Structure 1
Amino acid sequence: MDDLSLKKFDRVVSILTSLQSKRTVKAQELADKFNVSLRTIYRDIKTLEASGVPLIGEAGIGYSIVEGYRLPPIMFTKQEASSFVTAEKLMASFADKNIRESFQSGVEKVKSVLKSADKDWLQAIDNQIAIYHQKKLFNETLPHVLETVLESIASKKQINLFYKSFNEEYTKRIIEPVGVFNEYSYWYILGYCTLREDYRKFRTDRIEGLTLTDIAFTKEHGSIEELRKRDSSENKRLIRILVDKSVTKYLTGTKKYYGFIKEQTKDNLVEMDFMAEEQYDEYFVRWLLMFADYATIIEPVSLKDKIREMLNRIVARL
């Protein structure tokens, strides 16, 4: 088989995999994915049909495999399977109980179709991959948080939420989840809050209870990317500090937790910019105090006052 034929074979197999993984796939989507023309995709689709794969093509919708048609199991390379094993370790640390168990079940199915030699290879590396994570990401009494939220997004049904706020206040909310995201090692739900009539984010470890309702969403929501961009610019203000260059290497792992956006070196100083909500100033101040003798606040001036207040409280307790 020459190189051209081999490329076509690999592409046709990949198209078949794409058709198996989605209800419908548009020809343009496939053309973009494989960087070929639409005419080439149409020829590949005819190749699949000629090989006996029953396909349905609908104008403006895309291609799909006839419901009920069963294909032989897909075989995985050991490199592909090892990526699942690595992901399994991550899921064990970063997902809630139900999602974690579902993923583990899926990985077992992947392992079941591997050749014996590949199974031995995976077994050899399985116990050598470890994820160390100390933060509490979910309420242990709620094993189904992510599962419920994803069901809500798919079915467009509201969720009743019992939530502990940043100030340790307990509130009941009705939300319409738009998406979930992981940031600063925590999981967040971004959704429309009917109480506030605006979009809010809710940290999963502060959720004390949640139930999926039969009530449909009240409005159409944008994508999580659009709402995240809006959230990053609203309700935040600029914090700018100057830090001695000699200590900046010790801040690399922590500055991202306080809204760090950019920095600029000026001789022996580094100017750092942060975007953060004022309600989190106390956290920023406590972090800044760790290296305050090497730092100067440029703006806002109000942050200097908060540092003085905290220092006065500290001195009073000594």
Structure 2
Amino acid sequence: MTAKKHKDRLVTLVDLLRDGQIHRAEDLAARFDVSVRTIYRDMEKLSASGLPVAGTRGAGYRITPAITLPPMTLTPTELEALNLGLAVAAEVGDADLQGAAETLAAKFDAVLPLETIAEGAAWQQALETPGKATRVFAHLPVLRAAIQARQKLRIGVAGEVAQVVRPLKVENWGRFWLLTAWREGAEGFAAYPLDQIESAEALPELFVDEPGKTLADYRP
């Protein structure tokens, strides 16, 4: 088969799938006089090229309406909000939203700068760990507020005794969230995955920077 025939078939496939109806691979293969496996490969190519192809082998395919966004610049906080939103969408129990969260995460992976991707290798973690986003969201407002107010916290972590800490920073790699803090009783730094925090209580006591206890002093 020539490259032109292959390209023409892909163009015709796109035109057929645009009607919003489900098209079985068997029917498409008969229409183009090719094997079903060839149709599977065609669909993978169309999907890889960015077309919003929905469907699976055996069920059929269609092209869903898509929205094209202009190039944009995200701040680190905006990227955190996006990560959290994707994680929540992955846990709502709706198969369509879960699938959309997964494909949207893949699209952002493809365009994020290399240094962000290197730090964000955990894009898929929230999709694979049920309840993770819910636990993160439950404590995130308290942690952020305490960091801004420089307010001590009493946090309870799974399997550990509750501790009083100075919250220093909340950050995320992909959808993996981490609190860096100074532990008052243990006199040392600690990093807590937010999905393992079971309780977070803001205390009336504030704190100021002291040598050896600041974020700049922390070395993982």
Please tell me the TM-score bracket, short chain as reference. Answer: 0.3 to 0.5
Q: Which has the larger radius of gyration?
A: 1
TM value normalised by structure 2: 0.42
- TM-score normalised per structure 1: 0.31
